[in-house]
């Protein structure tokens, strides 16, 4: 009788071992495809249809992007995503920002963001993936612009001097009720220039490798930014686009299959 608990313990251990092996096999078997070969064409067409960035559209940016993605869940967090950030006032339009994300390895990712007149490239180099620790290097129109330390949210300019900060919210529950709690200040030289949300929607939904429109109505999109300071200079606007890029990276690769 004394051997019975030992046998049960051994049996439980075998079950856990087999389950872990099956999970690992499934994760590796479903490794996502590489960056699509038509990505450059997709982005060129998307950029041609972007809403013009000739006024001040920051207040009209929705915390919602529409596009495609294929990200491995569980092991590795590798894959790709591409799409456009939508407009609140013109939801049927292409949007203001087109982007492409390529994450060939868990600790390396490349994100490109286009407006109608600017290109921002971000290279993510991560030391840890759970939780994320590392930095994002930023280039604007092929010129070094700065970097973001993750997760501290410290912003540094091209010369390495402190430029500001953005400590993103830890809110990851995808619920419209959590949106008001998800905004965090973006500061430049000790001044708050805007607040950015960390809760974003993706459209269409993805389920088991296929793409679907939502069956139930989605909530109306909410602003990506709020309390935007008047009279932003070009560098401040670019920093806001860079921290939006940080949120796109998190949303596309870290927050599950749906919004």
Residues 173-195, mean pLDDT to the nearest whole number? 82
- Contact by Cβ (8 Å): 249, 122: yes
Q: Which carries the bigger pLDDT value, residue 124 or residue 71? A: 124
Cβ neighbors of 113 (< 8 A, separation 6 or more) are: 97, 98, 99, 119, 120, 121, 122, 241, 244, 245, 248
Residues 101-114, mean pLDDT to the nearest whole number? 92
User: Tens digit of pLDDT for each residue in 47-73?
Assistant: 888 999 987 799 999 999 988 888 775
Min mean pLDDT across 61-70, 72-81, 125-134 is at: 72-81
Whether the bond between 85 and the residue before it is cis, its omega within 30 degrees of 0, is: no
Q: What pLDDT score was predicted for residue 67?
A: 85
Q: Which carries the bigger pLDDT value, residue 163 or residue 55? A: 163
pLDDT at 22 over 80: no
- Contact by Cβ (8 Å): 247, 113: no
**Count of C-beta atoms within a 10 Å radius of residue 55:** 8
User: Tens digit of pLDDT for each residue in 185-221?
Assistant: 999 999 999 999 988 888 765 444 454 454 455 678 8
What ranges do the domains of the chain cover? 1-30, 34-254
Q: Which carries the bigger pLDDT value, residue 87 or residue 77? A: 87
Q: Which carries the bigger pLDDT value, residue 108 or residue 68? A: 108
| Torsions phi, psi for 122 (to 5 deg) | -125, 130
Q: What pLDDT score was predicted for residue 240?
A: 97
Grade residue 259 by pLDDT with cuts at 50, 70 and 90. Answer: very low
Three-state secondary structure string covering the chain? CCHHHHHHHHHHHHHHHHHHHHHHHHHHHCCCCCCCCCHHHHHHHHHHCCCCCCCCHHHHEEEEEEEEEEECCCCCCCEEEEEEEEECCCCCCCCCEEEEEEEEECCEEEEEEECCCCEEEEEEEEEEECCEEEEEEEEECCEEEEEEEECCCEEEECCCCEEEEECCCCCCCCCHHHHHHCEEEEEECCEEEEEEECCCEEECEEECCEEECCCCCCCCCCECEECCCCCCCHHHHHHHHHHHHHHHHHHHHHCCCCC
Exposure of 132 by Cβ count < 10 A (0-12 exposed, 13-18 middle, 19+ buried)?
A: middle
Q: What pLDDT score was predicted for residue 163?
A: 97
Q: Which carries the bigger pLDDT value, residue 41 or residue 162? A: 162
Mean pLDDT of the chain: 80
């Amino acid at each position: 009788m004394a051997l019975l608990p030992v046998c049960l313990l051994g049996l439980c251990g075998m079950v856990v071992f087999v389950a872990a092996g099956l999970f690992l096999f499934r994760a590796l078997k479903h490794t996502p495809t590489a960056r699509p070969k038509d990505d450059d064409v997709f982005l060129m067409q998307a950029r041609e249809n972007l809403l013009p960035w000739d006024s001040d559209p920051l207040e009209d940016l929705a915390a919602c992007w529409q596009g495609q993605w294929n990200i491995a869940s569980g092991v590795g967090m590798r894959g790709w995503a591409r799409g456009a950030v939508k407009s609140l006032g013109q939801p049927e339009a292409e949007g203001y920002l087109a982007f492409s994300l390529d994450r060939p390895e868990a600790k390396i990712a490349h994100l490109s963001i286009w407006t109608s007149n600017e290109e921002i490239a971000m290279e993510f180099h991560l030391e840890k993936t759970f939780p994320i620790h590392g930095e994002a290097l930023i280039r604007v129109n092929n010129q070094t612009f700065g970097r973001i330390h993750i997760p501290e949210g410290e912003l540094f300019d091209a010369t390495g001097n402190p430029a500001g900060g953005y400590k993103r919210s830890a809110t990851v529950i995808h619920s419209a009720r959590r949106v008001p709690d998800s905004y965090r200040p973006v500061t430049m030289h000790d001044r708050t220039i805007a607040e950015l949300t960390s809760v974003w929607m993706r459209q269409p939904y993805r389920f088991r490798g296929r793409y679907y429109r939502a069956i139930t109505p989605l909530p109306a999109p909410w602003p990506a930014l709020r309390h935007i300071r008047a009279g932003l200079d070009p560098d401040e606007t670019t920093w806001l686009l860079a921290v939006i890029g940080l949120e796109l990276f998190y949303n596309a690769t870290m927050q599950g299959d749906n919004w």
